[in-house]
Amino acid sequence: MFHSIIRGLAAATLVVSLSPPAWANTVTVTDTRDRTVEIPENAERIVLGFHYEDCMAVAGPGGFDRVAAISRAPWENWRNLQWRTYVEALPRIAELPDVGHTRDGTFSFEAVFAAQPDLVLLASWQYDALGEVNRRIEAAGIPVVVHDYNAQTVEKHVESTRLLGQILDREDRAETLATEYEAAVADVLGRLDAIPEDARPRVYVELGRKGRDVVDNSYSGTQWGGVLDQLGAQNIANGQIENWGPLSAEYVLTQNPEVILLAGSGWTGQDEAILMGPNVDSETTHARMRPYLERPGWNELDAVENRRIFGVYHGGNRTLYDYAFLQFLAKALYPETFADLDLQASLDRFFEIYMPVRFQGIYMTHLPVGQDG
């Protein structure tokens, strides 16, 4: 019993020593879960769970220095090329304490507490996954705020951006970003009414993570499936899967898609993945895409015969600059209606104005097929 008392006193001492300082001034924000949260004005120490680039965009030059710890795995493992690019530009990122990952059960209250944050900023899916850990963090006097770019709605994107502006004391910059996002999406959606139903193509999306011999996830109602729904396309995954999962090879052949979209990235440990993202060249991406066309029956698909095979960077989906991918897919699906859009310019402008790195690499592409390739 004596040892139990000593351990209890030690734990109590740790809590006292690491307790966040009293705040001189506070502000009240409403997060994307409609929760009213009191936070310190101009928070200087933030634990950031996800949406790293979006936070950078709103924070502006030097603003990411306020991040005191991160959930590292979703960035380093899911978007490794992106991770390495930002670490090269901002070496401090690699030195930030890691609070763990919700998906593998390593997210740690103790690691969060040790970072002595003013607040914890989580993606909506992380907040749902943590459950009791959220309550422990808040019971320790650390506010938890939720933002959400995964919802794939203009409303949540804008709400999240303005929320970041409040947290980071960058409200003017956030308002500019939010307004530009609204305008870009509205321009695309406003043109769709003129496109008749019979001109809306059948589309197949596949995550290009495992190579041609393994059929990977398609999407329905979320991620690229959500974008296709916005654009009024006929997504062949709708009604077949919920959220994400593979479609059978036979089903894809019977649906004869008119457009095929392969999503690439810079994953770790995926040697046959379609590489896309920072510092990747088009030749490398196309070399990883072409084997998919050798799948049985694909040479007879309308998408292949008409050379409508496209690649998109999976890490660009559900971000503050995802309007550029909405524009890209709009032009891929309806080339005449969106002929005037300069997709490269959209990305170049965003990275030049708002990010600590310049756009360099391949984020979207049209695969040359047949005599062109």
Model pLDDT for residues 192-212, shown as the tens digit of each residue: 988 999 899 999 999 999 999
Question: Do 10-183 and 196-372 share a fold?
Answer: yes
| CATH number given to 196-372 | 3.40.50.1980
Lowest mean pLDDT segment, chosen from 7-16, 49-58, 108-117, 119-128:
7-16
Q: 3-state DSSP helix/strand/coil percent for the chain, to nearest 5? A: 45, 15, 35
Among the listed residues 275, 276, 278, 274, the one whose alpha carbon sits nearest the alpha carbon of residue 293: 274
Cβ neighbourhood burial of 211 (10 Å; 0-12, 13-18, 19+): middle
Beta strands 259-264 and 309-313 are parallel
Tell me the residue type at 39. Answer: I
pLDDT value for 208: 97
Cβ(42)–Cβ(50) below 8 Å? no
pTM, two decimal places: 0.88
Stronger pLDDT, 9 or 138, i.e. the higher one: 138
**DSSP conformation class of 213:** T
> For residue range 355-372, what is the model confidence (pLDDT) as tens digits?
999 878 999 999 997 644
> For residue range 79-90, what is the model confidence (pLDDT) as tens digits?
999 999 999 999
SS3 36: strand
Whole-number mean pLDDT of the chain?
91
Report domain extents, the chain.
Answer: 10-183, 196-372
CATH number, domain 10-183, options 3.30.200.20, 3.40.50.1980, 3.10.20.340, 3.10.20.30? 3.40.50.1980
pLDDT value for 360: 86
Among the listed residues 197, 196, 194, 219, the one whose alpha carbon sits nearest the alpha carbon of residue 206: 219
